[in-house]
Amino acid sequence: MQRIALAMAAVCALAGSAQAADNAVTSGTFVIERPTLLSLGFEWKISGDDNRNAAVIVTYRKTGQATWRQALPMLRMGGEFIAGPKPQYGGLNYYNYTVPPAFAGSVLGLQPDTAYDVHFTMRDPDGVNGEAEKTVTVRTRAIPRPAAGGHVYQVWPFSHKDKLGPDEFIGLLAAYYMGADESDHSNVFPPRVKPGDTILVHAGTYKDNRFVYGGFDKNVETYGTSFDGTYYLTASGTPDKPIVIKAAGDGEVVFDGNGNDTLFNLLAANYNYFDGITVRNTNVAFLLGIKDIAGADGFTLINSRAYDVGRVVRDDWAKSKDYYIADNVFLGRHDPEHITSWIGADVWGKYPGFPALITSEYAVKVYGQGHVVAHNYIANFHDAIDNATFGNPSPVPEDQGASVDFFGNDMFNITDNCIELDGGVHNMRAFDNRCANTAQLAYSTQPIFGGPAYIYRNISYNNTTAGALKLLDDPAGILVYNNTFIGSAGSLGPASNIHFRNNLIVGDGWKKPIFQVKTFTPYSSSDFNGFGPNQVAGNFSWDGPPFESANGGRVHKADDTLAEYQKGSGQDAHSIVVGLDAFVNVRPTDESDPRKLYLPEDLDFRLGPRSAAIDKGAVLPTITDGFNGRAPDLGAYEFGSTPPKYGPEMWPVGETPSQFRSETGPPH
């Protein structure tokens, strides 16, 4: 199928003066996406600019300050084609989506709950029709907090035999609703809780005997969840006054699903806030949204644990917004001692248990806008954190997957991908994450519907047979900046409008090429990177259209060395060769045993004082701000800086299922 690659200026000039009017850019609708804690996302629709030489320059400042700071420019997009992975019935592809012409981009590295002025300047040598400059004031999200002054209720487990006070109850449902009963009467009570109220849950295990027709034998432990064992929560708080369900602080609070499908159903509940609980023995811990059916806003889950679960958070509802999932520990059911895989019989087939069953599909899956998933420890899942693949985006900007932040997460022993930005449209961001030990690829964009998808300052190590990146299903608009990837770069396309800067991509001993790009667009680019080639032929390739092409036809040529690749591709003119000795302490992995788990705490990804990667990068505003030397360094860590905190700021209360490192987590 023909792929579109828009003509560059030299090609457009051949069309003559009749086309000249189309080269001027015309500004259109300006979209302010939902803010996150640390980022702001914007879109500016356009028409014209057939020669793609327009640009949008972005500056910003805290409201009230005088000095403007530079941000990254917005990404130009339009015309990129996303077909999809494979034919459906009738020969149609999954998506067949063409990216509309626009600019989109983020201001990064901001502070929570802070107002910013952001100034945009549209420029085009051929002229700008319509508004060329715009200034907006937007406030970043505040970290969700309980409200003061609400009613406080106390919840005890069934084993509690002391006399109950007027605001004390046995079981969560009896406090959340005006009462709780079994079976036929399980849904008769209206909500008791109101915005700003808090339910304090005391230590104990809350496990309903869901197969018992309760209410007759007072010695049988029941909590009013009926035969499916699900807590249907339907009361809504507000952004300033969430409904809080919080551990009381007297020990671990365990909600046990007794093997059920869904433990908490919040499809009709907005701004419910969970703090300090443990969930186990269920397929879906929190059901928050189902595509085209229903979903929730403002869900918060902090300081909590989940284990023996198939999924922790499930959401693929387009209108979901403003989740905050942070400082949690999520442990799946996959083998805690080894990496496993469900595909790749040539490598994995000789090991017991192949193909591995998907008993824990993902820890977190979201869709919508404004979500933050941060500082969680996740292990032993198929995927760790996903944006829902979803399908073609809605034509309504507010219902598109956009402005989502995944950062500070520590992911260990993941079968497929640590982070999937799949299905996102604009301003999807994965940054300051650590991914160690995967059977497949670490960071995925399968696909992106225009972008930009930002992947920056991340670490990946021991991504065994595949590599760091999965840029598959024709994604468009991907920015890969200042990452440290030990192993190959992964599956790099075919994709459109992709750009690599300041990355360290260093071989880990596996016999696989280090950097092979497939792109449909001549304006994809790569430069200022550090490569550590593996000992194989064809380490490098840039499989893309010739510079003057307008039809997306790709020309393939593989090169063994960086110098040959630079000369033949026109890419990576300022990139260098580095080795593992660029780091303080990073060692190759053992190709003879792909199941082996490596401990990131035994490695040090900081640059050594004589590292070739120091001062070899390009300035990327809001990403390399505050660099120490003549120029930014390559990789995730600037020399002399303190590495970010990965995983929970404070480890949640609760017992660990085993003493395997994947379940105890790193030293804390």
9-139 CATH: 2.60.40.10
Residue partners of 130: CB distance under 8 A and separation at least 6:
26, 27, 28
Residue 456 has pLDDT above 80, yes or no: yes
Amino acid at 243: I
pLDDT of residue 248: 98
CA distance 247 to 257: 18
**Is residue 583 helix, strand or coil?**
strand
Give the containing element (helix H, strand E) for 439.
none
**Whether the Cβ atoms of residue 414 and residue 378 lie closer than 8 Å to each other:** yes
From the list 55, 51, 53, 52, the residue with the least C-alpha distance to 19 is 51
pLDDT of residue 222: 87
- Pull the structure tokens for residue 336: 């805690």
CA 188, chain centre distance (Å): 39
Q: What is the pLDDT of residues 55-64, one digit of tens each?
A: 999 999 999 9
Residue 461 has pLDDT above 50, yes or no: yes
Q: What is the pLDDT of residues 99-111, one digit of tens each?
A: 999 999 999 999 9
Q: What is the pLDDT of residues 89-100, one digit of tens each?
A: 566 788 999 999
Q: What is the mean pLDDT of the chain?
A: 94
- Pull the structure tokens for residue 508: 């880990």
Residue 311 has pLDDT above 70, yes or no: yes
Average pLDDT over residues 341-361: 96
pLDDT of residue 91: 65
> Do β-strands 449-456 and 426-431 pair in parallel, antiparallel, or remain unpaired?
parallel
**Whether the Cβ atoms of residue 23 and residue 128 lie closer than 8 Å to each other:** no
**Which of 88 and 61 is assigned the larger pLDDT?**
61
**Whether the Cβ atoms of residue 341 and residue 349 lie closer than 8 Å to each other:** no
- Tell me the C-alpha to C-alpha distance, in Å, between residue 668 and each of 249, 437, 659: 20, 20, 14
CA distance 511 to 551: 34
* Phi then psi dihedrals of residue 485, to 5 deg: -115, 115
From the list 115, 139, 138, 127, the residue with the least C-alpha distance to 64 is 115
Residue partners of 79: CB distance under 8 A and separation at least 6:
4, 6, 98, 99, 101
Average pLDDT over residues 326-330: 99
Q: What is the pLDDT of residues 578-592, one digit of tens each?
A: 999 999 999 999 889
Burial of 203 (0-12, 13-18, 19+ CB in 10 A): middle
- Pull the structure tokens for residue 440: 């497949």
Q: What is the pLDDT of residues 640-652, one digit of tens each?
A: 999 999 999 999 9
- Pull the structure tokens for residue 515: 């950097």
Residue 12 has pLDDT above 50, yes or no: no
**Is residue 93 helix, strand or coil?**
coil
Percentage of residues in the chain having pLDDT higher than 70: 94
pLDDT of residue 312: 99
Least confident of 13-27, 93-107, 261-275, 603-617: 13-27
- Give 370-399 as a DSSP string: S-EEES-EEEEESEEEEE---SSPPSSGGG
**Which of 509 and 385 is assigned the larger pLDDT?**
385
- Give 503-541 as a DSSP string: -EEE--S-SS-SEEEEES-TT-EEES-EEE--SSS--EE
Q: Per-domain residue ranges for the chain?
A: 9-139, 145-260
CA 544, chain centre distance (Å): 28
Residue 465 has pLDDT above 50, yes or no: yes
**Which of 3 and 99 is assigned the larger pLDDT?**
99
CA 160, chain centre distance (Å): 41
Tokens 């907005």 sit on residue = 270
Residue partners of 91: CB distance under 8 A and separation at least 6:
none
> Do β-strands 515-519 and 490-501 pair in parallel, antiparallel, or remain unpaired?
parallel
Predicted confidence band of residue 550 (pLDDT cuts 50, 70, 90): very low
Quick one: the chain helix, strand, coil %, rounded to 5?
10, 40, 55
pLDDT of residue 547: 54
pLDDT of residue 181: 87
CA distance 518 to 500: 13
Q: What is the pLDDT of residues 363-390, one digit of tens each?
A: 999 999 999 999 999 999 999 999 999 9
> Do β-strands 69-70 and 75-77 pair in parallel, antiparallel, or remain unpaired?
unpaired
pLDDT of residue 213: 83
pLDDT of residue 215: 66
**Whether the Cβ atoms of residue 458 and residue 482 lie closer than 8 Å to each other:** no
Residue 17 has pLDDT above 60, yes or no: no
From the list 43, 12, 7, the residue with the least C-alpha distance to 27 is 43
Predicted confidence band of residue 18 (pLDDT cuts 50, 70, 90): very low
- b vs e for 550-585, b when ≥16 Cβ sit within 10 Å of the residue's Cβ? bebebeeebbeebeebbeebebbeebbebeeebbee
How does DSSP classify residue 247? E
- Pull the structure tokens for residue 359: 């008993």
CA 157, chain centre distance (Å): 36
pLDDT of residue 19: 45
Q: What is the pLDDT of residues 254-299, one digit of tens each?
A: 999 999 999 999 999 999 999 999 999 999 999 999 999 999 999 9
Give the containing element (helix H, strand E) for 662.
helix 661-664
- Direct distance between the N- and C-terminal alpha carbons of the chain, in angstroms, rounded to an integer: 52
Residue 14 has pLDDT above 60, yes or no: no
